[in-house]
Structure formats: structure tokens, C-alpha cells
Structure 1
Amino acid sequence: MAYYHLGELVHHQAQKYKNRTSLKFLLSDGRWTQMSWEEFSEKIMKTAQAMAELQIKPEDNVGVYSQNMAKYLITDFAAYANRAVMAPMYATSSPSQVEYIVNDARLKVIFVGEQFQYNNAYKVQQESPVLKKIIVFDRNVVLKPEDKTSIYFDDFITTGDNSESLALVNARLRQLKGSDLATIIYTSGTTGEPKGVMLTHDNYIQAFKIHDARLTQCSEKDVSMCFLPLTHIFEKAWTYYCLHKGILVAVNRDPTQIQQTLRQIRPTLMSNVPRFWEKVYDGIQQKIETSSGALKWLFEDSVRTGRKHNLVYKNQGKRAPFGVALKFFLYKLTIFYLIKKVVGIDRGNFFPVAGAPLSDKINEFMQSIDVHLIYGYGLSETTATVSCFLEKGFTIGTVGKVMPEVEVKIGTNDEILVKGKTVMKGYYKKPVETAAVFTEDGFFRTGDAGRLTGNNEIILTERIKDLYKTSNGKYIAPQMIETRMTEDKFIDQIAVIGDERKFVSALIVPDFGHLKQYALEHQIPCGSNEELVENKEIHDYMFGRIELLQAQFTSYEKIKKITLLPHPFTMESGELTNTLKLRRKIVLQRYAAEIEKMYAE
């Protein structure tokens, strides 16, 4: 199979597929429309010419701050045609986060999605000496009256419609190199300062090659739903891979509408994080639990049958006994089909899932009802996939078999070390940090602990790096949040919770001196610390202060629930180190009951 630099990929596909549909996407009136490969290629060229006219040069960094849109993908590939580098930002990013990336990557131009992104980007532009121009995807965005530099995307792409810009882009297309930097993907650090992961076109091309070797069950006949943010390496690499395979990509713009769009498109493929499947599982379980006796038995028997057929026999390369095979066939046409049709995955081929730990129980259940999850493990620094399930022969409890041409070994403290052509070039403008994450023999230190099985499958055991990852796949830097919270005089100590959880919560030790004074002024009983922390009025007041402190955080970083503790963390109790740092493992164990209460449905 041919492998192309991202700058020329779509153009080659347009020659092959011509009028065949490449993308489906929603219009502002809620109707789905489609774009052929030829039209996709033409729009990329027009955008590339406009970029050249705007003096975007090879190796220049270009920002995109938007939810998923067809125009997002057009912008990406137009930049690659100019040998420019894309620096994506999450659509939910706060102005301070946008400002950091703008200044760090020296972004002169940012493409933004909707009103929220435009407003934040324009605010950054007013204070940044770097950002010069904002290009707006959504025509419904209302520009500031005083804004004389921003332009709508549809107007922007007409600005390069001349022979000079066309010649310049064509010249650059002939100079494409695999070593060209393609993307700088910023990840959160433990101090809150992001690091820009530099991925080259060779990194992406190698990712295509190893996925072709592993995912032999997908083809150009598939339809993929682009649901996760394209800023996320999982979705970005997966969507690029689908385009490489000639797979139709349906772009979901609004994450809250995914249930509706799934039923409308009925994709055969969709990459997702475990949280999505947790919700699907919870919905199915609720339906089973509320069913009548006979129907409930039927549901449960179908799952038992599916487990035998898919996991005990099929996954092990064995033929199921006739009775099991017959029952499974009947359940597949009835109960399983109806369940999947309600979700919108009745045409499903398989569904890659990664970004956070997936419960073995949920994984096994979904496999049993004939929803084929390809569970895997990867990082931004490894162009996503390090390991994933085989079509057959996978092991529940692992994150799959190491990908072809990727080398994994276990280092000190059981750290997973990775080497291969998908590993990043380094962190942008951070040579010290880059050197620190590579071993002397060139292996990348993942910061995750685990072990390898005899079949070269990875079992993750714990997270070494001091980062939380919610079950939605978002990285959270707890120290950054804690530092911000303790700026408030009413907060003495705080322990942020969130690893593998649906949302961020916190255990808080108030400054009882200030809190008792507040209680006296408002005639709130304060005979003891215990009495204070159990008072609802006190709880609401403290949470209100936290809300103000986290105004600049993205939604997934915000603390959603708190528990006030009557006594401080101490060295004597083992909750603090000698240097007064939080021993998170001890705190999690000691306050397990309080933590679980915050996450009780």
C-alpha cells in the first residue's frame, strides 16, 4: 500500500476516489451534508494558497482552536501542503491556556471555531505581541466592532486565488519531506506548564504502516465517526489513518449531540475513551435491572451466551458448539441488534478505545454483546498506539499486544519504555525535558508502570508520573489546581482527586481561624471543627469560593465536588512527607469512604 506525506495524502486519494464521499458533516441548520474527495482536495488547495498569500512559510507554526469541523481538517492539510506545522488547542481551553501556546509556539495566525473560541482568542490577541490574525470557521460568529484584522474562513480562502500563490504551494508540495514537523501537541505537565510534543510526518506515516499490519479487518467500506477532539492525539491519528485508508469520516461537531449523530450516521468505526462505554454499559444494565422476570432472564442468558461464543471460543480460535453458536446467532439478530441499534452502533465493525483505563468488567460485557472493542494504550509522545487488542487472541486485563515494529521493555520501577519510529522528535523548545524522558539507548520513558506477558501484551499497573487522567481521557495536573486553590485564605490544605474518575473532586482542610470568624459573623454554630465542616451553609460558602478560583480552568479541570475535613494532613499520620508534600496514595486509602461518597451516583 502507498504511504504519503500528509501534505499530499488527500490529493492522491482524490485522484483515486474522485466523486466518492470523503467527509460528512453538519450544517448550522442541523442538516448533514457531504464532501467528495475531489472537493476536499480543491478546498485544501485553496486554503493552502490563502496561507501562502498570508506569508505562512515552511516550518511556521499555525494554531487551530476549534471543535471538530470539516474546515478544521481542511486547515490541517492545507498547512501540511505548505510544510507548516499545526499546533492544536482544545475547544474548551481558557484564555490563559491559549495565551501560553500562542506565545510558546509563536503563533501569528489562529483558526478558531465558534463564538467562545473567537472571544477568547481575540482577548489573547489584545495582549499578545505575537498573534496577528484570527480566521473564523463559523460564519455565525459575531466579530468585535473594533476588530479590523479577523476574517471569516470562507472569505479567507478566496484571498490566495492567484497564479503566484498557486505556484508557491506547488513548489512546496514538491519539497515535502518525511522529516518535516507536522504537529506540536501540547500536553499538561505536573506544574501546569504544557509541553509541546513534536511529531513529524514520518511519525504519522509509520503509525499508518503499523496499523495496517494490525487492523486488517477495516477497509475503505467502513464509516468512522470523528467524535473525540481532533486536538487529542488518539482522534487526530485515527482520523488521519481513516483518510489514509479511504474511509469515509463523519465529523461530530457537538460532543453533547453524539447520541443523536450516532443514530443518524450509524458508523462502523469510532475511537473513544472508556467513559463513553461506561455510559453505554450503565444504560444497558439499567434496562436489564428494570425488566420483568422472563425478559430479564433472556437478557442475562444472551450475555452469558455471547461471552461463551466470543470470548471462550471465537477469541481463542475455536469453533463454538452447535447449541452455543445457534443461540448466539439468534441473540445477535434480536437482542444484541436492538441494543446496538438504540445506541447507533448496529453496523459496528470495531471500536478503538484508549486514553484511560477501561474496566475489565465493562470490556468483557461489551465483547459479550457483540460490540468489538479494540482496547489499546498509547501517548501523544508515541503518535498514539503502543499496543492494542488483536482481532482474535486478545486478553482481557491487558491493553493489548505491542504494535508491529514497536519495541517495549520494562525499566526501573517497572516503567514502560518504548522505542520505534512513532516516538516523538522531542518536546518543543524544551531540550532538558526531552533529554530527561529518553534513556541512553534511545527508549522513551512513558511514566507508566506495567509488565509484559509472554505474548508481548502490556499489563498496566500504576501511573508513575504525577498526572491524573479522568475516565474521559483528559489529563489533569493536580499540583497546579492545588496551588491555585491554596491562594485562598480559607483553604489550608487540599488534595485533588481525579485519576480514572468521571470528574475532579477535592478533600479540603479549611483554615479554621478564618472559617470560625466567618461563622461567628453569620451566626453559624461553630462549637467544633466537626460541627463546622458538616454545616451545609459552610460547605456551600467554601464551594462558592472554589468556583471563583477556578474560573480560568477548562471544564474538565474544575472541581465538581468537595469534602471538608475537620483535621489537617500531618507528617505524623503519614499523609505528608518530611518536606510537607502530600502522600497521595496514603490520602486515597485513608479517606476512601469520603471519596467514594463524592462519586456515588
Structure 2
Amino acid sequence: MNASLPQLLQCIVSEYPDTIAQYSKDQNGEFQPISYKEMFDCVSNFACGLRVIGCKRGDFIGLISDNRKEWMHASMGIMALGAADIPRGSDVTDSDIIQILGIVESSFVVVEDDIQTKKIFKNIKELPKIQTIIILDSSVDLESLKTEWAQSEEAKTRSMEIFTYDEIILKGKEFRVQNPDYVEKQIAETKPDDIATIIFTSGTTGTPKGVMLTHKNFLSQLPELSKRIILYPGERALSVLPVWHVFERLCEYVIIHAAAGIAYSKPIGSILLADFAKINPHLLPSVPRIWEAVHDGVFKQLRKKGGISYALFKFFLKAGNLRFHYHRRLFKNVAYTSQAEKTVAPFLAFIPWLLLTPIHLLGDALVFSKIRLKLGKNFRAGVSGGGALPSNIDEFFWTAGVTVVAGYGLTETAPVVAVRSIAHPIFGTIGTPCNYNQVKVVDDTGKTLPMGEQGVVYVRGDNVMKGYFKRPELTESVIDKDGWFNTGDIGYICLGGEIVLRGRLKDTIVLRGGENIEPVPIEMRLQESQYISLAVVVGQDQRYLGALILPDEAELQAWAKSQHIAEESMEKLIELPQVKKLFENEIADLISAENGFKLFEKITRFAVLSKPFEPGVELSAKQEVMRHKINQLYEKEIDELFV
């Protein structure tokens, strides 16, 4: 195994120097390729450029940018120097910038463009350590930005250097002429347990959690993942996700490990489909929302056609879904918790599968083959992570003949714990644990549970984080003395070792788009309303957030009286349109951009409950909300929020 990620790149370059590494669009929207040798030159020049302006081994360097080829050059360059990147996307908030760059005490920050540069300017008083900004987009008006800084109040008491990516590359080139082996020597000094990156979890309360991930955390996964996610030298994968999220980042390392090429696209339907036609990719790492959008787009298009086309589509889809129900049992693509059921199922499935197969083959020729054509002639599989893949979406793609393999992991596990194999996917599961980590399921007492019994999932292995940055007590609360990490996820293990997830004990909510949201800040803000006594935010694996609202009965009754609404029971009062509008306005005012909330943190739908929560039922003895109990007790109300 390589000692570091830059060393991995170095090895790939030595074997595949002329193979295409990256495809990025020019001003005309056409993909322009660069080889692995050219990419490594960019990485080396960037690393040396950083050295020239004062960066050194062990530094923590901010990296605020969306996905683009220069992001990888910057990140690899930072790591080649022996430093670590602190990544964030272009949607970073002011508070994120202040807290994250402040916690790691960054002196250097790499940003995408002038917009991110101005965010640094805006918050510079709270970032006394920052002394250098590097802008990846070299087309910015650099002189204008320098003038803006020079005219600021802060410029009177401190200096700030601002460079473009091209300037850093040029400085690096000049340095390498005099020091031709510098980068190689720095790469050789990096150890597997050195920190590669610190990824701060989004939407956290109080002090953000900085997940320290080492080179080994990533590298340990690549040999096994290359067997499950099949990709060969010279092949291509589309990149559409935020690279500062650990799932996309690891996928790009998998692509590099395979000596394949990364083509940078956008998660926008029209752009993505056009890029499928241009690039003909073999692989698409994505989140469930993208597969859902493809599914919805197919339905919308055929519904618009109507008539016989839509009727045939629905018929063949229903027949195909049923056929694959039996197909999975016949060819062992489904998980079991009973040996008897596993033995009998193939025999029971054979006749129905045989009868339905001709219908499905006809449907495939008339309907599903056309869907596959939209993904290009080379498409092998999609890899879905960052949230659970809904079963109806999973089933649709099975029937359409499009392989989508679901995986599971967390930022703290860098991230992949388990993933289905492209060669033999198991429906309804997230696959078996990868061989670089162990998984066990435990009960409330910490006892390991047998196969089929539901409990909390624990993980141990080379992929588990080094810890939370400057928070040893928090690290100890999630990783025990034997190295087992408490994921906070609820699930069970099947007969073949596959994992099935059922929910989360942790508060963190993951939407289908992969956004990680801590519900507590939203709930606390909602509870600032005089009409809301308690709020519970829900939305795990959904498109958007919802909320269960407990009204402050006295305040609501008083408001009703002021509105000349006849006094009614609470059950009747909360059903009135005026009352629903009141809560709608309160929620919209409180959970807004003005109050620092992101678009995906907004509450789209809510339900007002008439019965207060009780200790021992919905609340713990400490009056804390027990989310897993609420998910069970109010399953119907929650489901209705996402219909």
C-alpha cells in the first residue's frame, strides 16, 4: 500500500503517464482532457508554489471551492507538501468560515473565485491568522480585489497577500528548476498516519466537529473498493457531487487508483444528460436524489406522451418489477435471515420468473433499452451514497437494467463501511462490510447481537478516523478503548453478512441529496416562537425537512381569542386554516436565510400535534426527546409529511 495519497498519484503517473486523468469544460462548454503526467505536474507546481509563499509541513490550509480540476491539484499539492486541507463548498456561511478556519488557525486559504475571496474579506476581523489567499479561478480581476483589500479598515493594521492559481503554479515551476526533487522528497517523508484532511460536519451546534482523516483512512479502502466498483485504466467517470463531502472525495481516489478519468459535470438534469452523451462515462457516483430525478424525469416524459406509450410503460414496469422480484430470489440477489427461506425461495421463484421473462424482454426492447441509451453506450453502474436509496427507485433501476449499487458510511469512517458489489448486488441492503473494517450490531447494554437481530451498528478498522480535532473527550465518547466506533445507526446483519439499515439513533439527519443536518439548532430556533413549545425536525432519507410541532396551548388559545375564533378543543383548533397559516408564517420567519439557515434546512411541511409529549414515552427521564421512539409512535404523521 502507498504511504500517502500523493504517492498513489505518483505511482499511477509512473505506469500510466499519458492516460487521461481529468476532463474539464472550456469556455465553450467542451471537455478538454489532461493526462496523469500533466496533472502531476500541476500538483507538483502547486506544492512548490505553496512552499515559496511560506507554507510548510503540518500546516492546515483552508480550501473553499466546489468541484473542479484545480481543486484536486490544490488538495493533492497541499498533501504533497505534508500539509492538510480543510475543505468546504462555495455555499459556506460566514459563521462556518469564522469557526472552521479559526479552530484550525489557518494562515493560508485557497478559494474558488472572487465571491469566496470577498467572504474572507467580510469576516477577516474574526480571522487574525489569515495572511494569504489563493484564488483557483485565474480569470478573476485580481487588481480590483487587491484594491478592495487595500481600501479596507483591516488593511491599515495587517498585510494580506492575494495570488491566483496561475501565479502559484508559475512560482512552483521556477522553484522546481532549482529544486527538481523537492516534491518527491516531501512525498517520501509523509507517513500513512499523517492527517490528510480535516472535514468539519455541516450544520452542527456550538463548536463544529472536525473529523481528522489520515492518508491510511483513504488508502486502506482502495484495493477492496476497486473489486466492488469496477473501473479500468482509461475509462471515465462523471463527477457531479461536492468534492468537500467525503463520499465524492473517496470516489475520486477510487477513479485515480484505477487510472481512469474524472469528467466534471453538474447535478442539473439538462447538463448531466448532455454530458452523458459527450463523455459516455462508465461510472457515476451520486446521491439518491439524482437517481430519483432520473426516475421522475422518465415518468414525467412518458406521462406527457400519454396514451398507449404511457400505458405500455406502466404495464411493462409492473411486470418487470414482479419478474425481478422472482429473479432476485432465483439468482440469490436478495438477503435472508433464515436458512430455510433461502433454500426454498429459488424453487418457488422459478416458474413465475420463467412466465414473466418473455414479457420483460419485450418491455426491455420497447421501453427500457431507450432509457439506458440516455446514459451513454459505456455505462456500467451508478454508485449511490450519502443517504439511503429508496426501495422504489432501487427497484425501478433493476427493472430498467441499470445497475445502481448502494453504499453506506459516515464522514468518520472515510466514508465507506459497506457497499454492494457491481458483480453481484444484493437488493434491499447496503452490501457486506468491506474487508478493511469489521462491523457488529449491539444492544443497549453493549452486547453483540446475533444475525437478524436489530441494534446499533459499530465499526472498527483502518478507515475509522483519527478523532475529532482538538476534542478528545468527544472522540472518546464515540470510539471505545478497543477501537469500535459507534455509528449511531440502527440495523441488522443478514445470513450472507449483508447489512440492512433501519434508522438512526444519532440526531444527524441525512437528506437524499447527501446534506447532513443537525436538527437541534432548527428546533431551538422554532421554539423561540411564542406559539411553539417543542419541535422535532424529521426527514431522514427524504428530499426535504419536515417538523412535528407541539403548540403552546395557552398562547395559542390567547391568539385564537384575539382573532375572535370561538374557543374550541385543541384537537379542533389546530385543524383550522387560520391556525395552520399562523404556524406556517412562524416557521418561515424563523427558519430563513436571514437567520443563517441554508435552503436545505428550511421546513417544507409540518404537522401540529394535540397531545403533549410524556416522560417515558416520547421523552427521557431528563426530558430529552427520544427521536427513535417518536419515529415509531408518529410514523403515520411523519409519513404524511413526505407524500
Opposite residue 237 of structure 2, the aligned amino acid is S
Q: Partners of 1:300 and 1:121 in 2: how far apart? A: 56
1:579 aligns with 2:633: no
Q: Partners of 2:225 and 2:181 in 1: how far apart? A: 35
Paired residues for 1:23-62 under 5 Å: 23-62=22-61
Q: CA deviation at 1:224?
A: 0.7
- SS of the residue aligned with 1:157? helix
Aligned residues: 595
Deviations 1:226-277 (A, max 9, x none): 1111111111011011011111100125657434433433321011111221
Gaps of 5+ in 1: none
Q: Partners of 1:532 and 1:116 in 2: how far apart? A: 45
User: Of 357, 373, 383, which aligns to 1:341?
Assistant: 373
1:273 aligns with 2:287: yes
Q: Partners of 1:544 and 1:411 in 2: how far apart? A: 40
User: Of 517, 535, 538, which aligns to 2:582?
Assistant: 538
TM-score (normalised: structure 2): 0.83
Paired residues for 1:551-570 under 5 Å: 551-563=595-607, 567=610, 569-570=612-613
Opposite residue 419 of structure 1, the aligned amino acid is R
- Aligned CA distance change for structure 1 residues 394 and 286 (closer, same or farther; 3 Å): same
Q: Which residue of 1 aligns with 2:337?
A: none
Q: Partners of 1:433 and 1:468 in 2: how far apart? A: 19
Opposite residue 311 of structure 1, the aligned amino acid is R
Q: Partners of 1:507 and 1:564 in 2: how far apart? A: 6
Gaps of 5+ in 2: 151-159, 335-345, 445-454
Q: CA deviation at 1:584?
A: 3.4
Opposite residue 586 of structure 2, the aligned amino acid is M
TM-score (normalised: structure 1): 0.88
Q: Which residue of 2 aligns with 1:105?
A: 104
Q: Which residue of 2 aligns with 1:130?
A: 129
Q: Which residue of 2 aligns with 1:502?
A: 543
- SS of the residue aligned with 1:231? coil
Q: Which residue of 1 aligns with 2:149?
A: 147
User: Of 258, 271, 277, which aligns to 2:272?
Assistant: 258
Deviations 1:383-427 (A, max 9, x none): 222111123443322210111232212223322121222222222
- SS of the residue aligned with 1:75? helix
Opposite residue 151 of structure 1, the aligned amino acid is F
Deviates more, 1:443-452 or 1:11-20: 11-20
Q: Partners of 1:533 and 1:51 in 2: how far apart? A: 63
Q: Partners of 2:439 and 2:574 in 1: how far apart? A: 53
User: Of 500, 517, 521, which aligns to 1:459?
Assistant: 500
User: Of 247, 252, 258, which aligns to 1:234?
Assistant: 247
Q: Partners of 1:561 and 1:361 in 2: how far apart? A: 22
Paired residues for 1:71-110 under 5 Å: 71-110=70-109
Deviations 1:440-467 (A, max 9, x none): 3222221112221221111112211122
Q: Partners of 2:524 and 2:380 in 1: how far apart? A: 45
Opposite residue 7 of structure 2, the aligned amino acid is E
Alpha carbons 2:316, 2:360 under 8 Å: kept = no
Alpha carbons 1:24, 1:34 under 8 Å: kept = yes
Alpha carbons 1:7, 1:176 under 8 Å: kept = no
Deviates more, 1:203-212 or 1:501-510: 501-510
- Aligned CA distance change for structure 1 residues 405 and 37 (closer, same or farther; 3 Å): closer
Alpha carbons 1:67, 1:253 under 8 Å: kept = no
Q: Partners of 2:214 and 2:419 in 1: how far apart? A: 22
Alpha carbons 1:337, 1:346 under 8 Å: kept = no
Alpha carbons 2:21, 2:262 under 8 Å: kept = yes
Q: Which residue of 1 aligns with 2:117?
A: 118
Q: Which residue of 2 aligns with 1:300?
A: 315
Q: Partners of 2:640 and 2:440 in 1: how far apart? A: 39
Q: Which residue of 1 aligns with 2:413?
A: 382
Q: Partners of 2:264 and 2:43 in 1: how far apart? A: 17
Alpha carbons 1:91, 1:117 under 8 Å: kept = yes
Q: Which residue of 1 aligns with 2:259?
A: 246
Alpha carbons 2:557, 2:567 under 8 Å: kept = no
Deviations 1:470-525 (A, max 9, x none): 1222211111221233345554432222222211232345557777888899x786
Q: Partners of 1:224 and 1:207 in 2: how far apart? A: 18
Q: Partners of 1:79 and 1:103 in 2: how far apart? A: 19
1:157 aligns with 2:169: yes
- SS of the residue aligned with 1:179? coil
Q: Which residue of 2 aligns with 1:402?
A: 433
Opposite residue 163 of structure 2, the aligned amino acid is I
Q: Partners of 1:537 and 1:59 in 2: how far apart? A: 54
Q: Partners of 1:323 and 1:587 in 2: how far apart? A: 44
- The percentage of aligned residue pairs carrying the same residue is 25
Q: Which residue of 2 aligns with 1:354?
A: 385
- SS of the residue aligned with 1:158? helix
Deviates more, 1:313-322 or 1:399-408: 313-322
Opposite residue 297 of structure 1, the aligned amino acid is L
CA RMSD, 1 decimal: 3.4
